[in-house]
Chains A and B, each alone.
Chain A
Amino acid sequence: MSAPLAAVSFAPLAVALPLLGAALAFVLRRHTGAQRAVTSSTLALTLVLEVWMLAGAWRHGAQAVLLGGWAPPWGISMVVDEFSSLMLVVSTCVSLAVLLYASGQGMADGERGGSISVFHPAYLILVAGVSNAFLAGDLFNLYVGFEILLTASYVLLTLGGTTARIRAAVTYVVVSVVSSVLFLLAIGMIYAATGTVNMADLALKLGEVAPGTQVVLHLMLFVAFGIKAAVFPLSFWLPDSYPTAPAPVTAVFAGLLTKVGVYAMVRTETLLFPGDRINSLLMVVALLTMLVGILGAVAQTDVKRMLSFTLTSHIGFMVFGLAVGNVVGLAAAVYYVAHHIIVQTSLFLVTGLIERRGGSSNVDRLGSLARLSPVLAVLFFIPAMNLAGIPPFSGFLGKLGLIQGGVELGTPLGWVLVGGSVATSLLTLLAVARVWNRAFWRKAEDAENPAPVLLATTSSGSPMTTYGTAANSGSRGDSALLPRGMVVPTAALVSLGVALTVFAGPLFQLSEQAARQMLERTPYIEAVFGAEATYAPGSLK
């Protein structure tokens, strides 16, 4: 209870620091510069703390902190294990990069006052909610975490209150509220059935509930989290609502919010309801999520909408890893979640840059970008290939792990899923390659409705100029249209995605350890109740 617990006992700060920062940022809403400094330093401090927690979890396994010293199952506990601390570190890295990008955008546009001053506080509250959901050791705290992040996301989605955003927000808010009510109902029923909401305690007690009741509770939680994670029949709301928000907001939503849902699903399947009761259902859902999502993506001409569809499609990969139910599959799912948070966010950030440089995010209006802005082309190409799963990148490693898990399972459904995931990867490649071909490679003159800004830069020099001068005039336009404050955070996030490949060895080792501990369940329960817990080992099955 002394030295090794040092890191985990600071876990509540991962929630409290962003909340305090949000309060301070709100007080400083008239001073844009001070607000930016407060917000980014808060996030940086939180990140340092979380890296420390990750190191502790890696060395000592799952640990719990009991708030106010109340013994479980009465008190509120926060649990730091490999999975939750890895999610915390990745999510805060991404949030910090997006925040710097948003600040760079604000600085470049000279925005001040008005609704923009709400951005920083709301953003920090979103981060606090995400951290709370990852750390929550009981279902109700998880619900509160979800509500904190959802409320902040409602505010971020409606920034500025334009017609398109209000339209998108209505769908988003109503769907989110319905899923929250379902979650609350499930909590009420679980409490009625077991008399506890503490997840470690539930892991012990849910097994004693009548099997029929278990199925009802299990499916209610699955539907509630399925809406939040956007799995197939419940994913209709996502491509409708995400693309209208400002670029940094869409990026952070795409990276984090659905993954919190996936995280909650993983906890439900491994800790609360172990066994393979709904694994076949999960596999069918995973397959349909992948295929329907990616077919939607191929049909889009707007890059943001295309990316939103690939986002829902790739949630299927994570559900696939979860449904396989063996260590290999679950480890790959953990790795894939980390990979996808980073890659999807960087793609949305790059799309924001494309929109600035090319004046549109619709590929019918884009062209010549590879020549006009080689930096932008590289920044798009790397995460796009990463998303499609081209070998050196982390997307390939994650998918390889998932396929190994599916092959190890060996059932016919497992093989169908392996085939489906390969087809989805290929179609993802098709979708991003179409964007690449149209927006970057073809000449702007060939576009269906070329954006004026592209034509202006292309035809300002005479058509007969050599390649060198054209590139020079392009880079002059670059510095004005692509502020360094936005390009540098994007580049940092893209290189973080590449770093996932470089450090794939230790990361896979960590995810495998996380997967093994989650499937074993005892480390989590012992972390909350202490090793000398009063439960009979037999009750764990």
Chain B
Amino acid sequence: MTVNVTLLAVMGVMFATGIYLLLERSLTRVLLGIVLIGNGANLLLLATGGIPGLAPLYVEGAPAGAYSDPLPQALILTAIVITFAVTALLLAIIYRSWVIARRDEVVDDVEDRRVAAQSSFDPEEDTEIPLETTEFDPAAIPPPVDGAGTPAGEAGTGGPR
């Protein structure tokens, strides 16, 4: 099988620039990157179809080897349609993002940042357990004789449930 070097070189450039654009923060550039790598993939499919210039469909009396392979062309057609639909949808999303926030950028996840910044101290699990763990009504317990204990009025909040 002969290899079309021009096709391969174009494909390489498309992938390189596409991936570069994909790593940008601006959404429009990301979209352009997606278009480029999508079409790079289409070129690869085209290259698998063999050398160009062969009979596409049916030529009277042509030998079997003189036909080009129709399958990659069918695959490319499907892939182009899919890339087209996704591009349109992404454009709509980018436009919406612009309408809402006036920005054309990938935004950080706020919740992610919050979880990452929270301290390892968990009030539920890490606070020291108070010494007084009785479940009895504190009001029913006689106050200490020296009178320095909790006044009965405050203790009453933990009444029967």
Contact = CB atoms under 8 A, between A and B. Distances in A.
Q: Do A and B bind each other?
A: yes
Interface of A: 140, 144, 147, 151, 154-155, 158, 161-163, 166-167, 169-171, 173-174, 177-178, 180-181, 184-185, 187-189, 191-192, 197, 240, 243, 299-302, 305, 434, 437-438, 448, 463-464, 467
Contact of A161 (B86, B96, B160): B96
A76 to B, nearest CB: 11
Contacts of A166: 93, 96-97, 100
Given A178-B22, A181-B37, A464-B160, A188 B45 contact: yes
B44 A188 contact: yes
B89 A170 contact: no
Contact of B112 (A155, A169, A240): A240
16 contacts: A140-B75, A144-B82, A155-B89, A158-B93, A161-B96, A167-B107, A170-B107, A174-B90, A177-B38, A181-B41, A187-B45, A189-B48, A240-B112, A243-B111, A299-B118, A305-B111
A286 to B, nearest CB: 25
A240 B109 contact: yes
Contacts of B100: 161-163, 166
Contact of B93 (A173, A197, A302, A434): A173
Contact of A185 (B44, B97, B109): B44
The winner among A166, A169, A197, A240 for most chain B CB atoms within 10 A is A166
B41 A169 contact: no
A67 B109 CA distance: 45
Interface string B74-96: 01001100100110011001101
Nearest to B120: A299
Contact of B44 (A189, A197, A464): A189
B37 A173 contact: no
B57 interface: no
Contact of A191 (B48, B89, B161): B48
Interface residues of B, number: 39
Contact of A171 (B101, B106, B123): B106
A437 B122 CA distance: 14
Contacts of B96: 158, 161, 166
A197 B69 CA distance: 13
The winner among B41, B71, B159 for most chain A CB atoms within 10 A is B41
B159 A174 contact: no
B101 to A, nearest CB: 6
B12 to A, nearest CB: 13
A184 B89 contact: no
A154 B22 contact: no
Contacts of B101: 163
Contacts of A467: 161
A187 B159 contact: no
Given A166-B96, A192-B47, A437-B124, 4 more contacts: A167-B107, A170-B27, A170-B30, A170-B106
A300 B118 CA distance: 10
Contacts of B111: 243, 302, 305
A464 to B, nearest CB: 7
A304 to B, nearest CB: 10
Contact of B71 (A191, A434, A463): A191
Given A167-B107, A188-B48, A173 B41 contact: no
B123 A174 contact: no
A392 B124 CA distance: 30
B156 to A, nearest CB: 11
B34 A177 contact: yes
B129 interface: no
B62 interface: no
Contacts of A184: 41, 45, 79
**What are the 9 tightest A-B residue pairs by CB atom distance, in nearest-first order?**
A192-B48, A188-B44, A188-B45, A184-B41, A167-B107, A147-B82, A166-B97, A191-B48, A161-B96
B38 A181 contact: yes
B130 to A, nearest CB: 14
A191 B72 contact: yes
A180 B42 CA distance: 12
Contacts of A192: 47-48
B30 A300 contact: no
B115 interface: yes
A483 B111 CA distance: 29
A274 to B, nearest CB: 24
